[in-house]
Amino acid sequence: MHVIVSNMAARRPPATEPAQGWPAPALSATEATILWALRRMALMQPLGKARCHAVHIALQQDFGDHGMGIEHLLRCWLFGLARFADRPLRFGAPACPLLLPDEALMLRSLAAPDPQALALLIRLAGPDAARLLPLGQALRANIHGETPLSKPFKDIS
């Protein structure tokens, strides 16, 4: 289980080396925050157990009460993807101006409907990644504020 964080801005690949990323497209503010959080979490060791205080604060500020849930689900999702992948997942450094292929697949899987998200997860981390679909669904719901916490309280007394 490995995650490689590379600072692609530090060097330009030679023409014979395949492209390692693309200039970051215009990401929404939410996508940019999630990408930054994933990159910061990938730096934390041991992966999945260590917490990043900067991510915690940023997600709380951007998502309010849902921020803690997003932080926890992102950490579990990242750990699961790294565990099931048959190769190291590649992440840019938090300020990297490129969007790396693995990062693009992760962002697309969070935005896609379930059948497409499943196909993207399998492409990223193999068939066992299908077990992570419920985490992705919960993460997507928290990001969009669609968790049970956001539903009105119904008094049943």
pLDDT tens over the chain, length 157 residues: 445 654 444 334 433 333 466 666 788 999 999 999 999 999 888 776 778 899 999 999 999 988 999 999 999 999 999 889 888 889 989 988 889 999 999 999 999 888 898 999 999 888 998 899 999 999 999 998 876 544 555 566 5
Q: How far apart are CA 135 and CA 74, in angstroms?
A: 8
This prediction has a pTM of: 0.79
Q: How far apart are CA 133 and CA 146, in angstroms?
A: 17
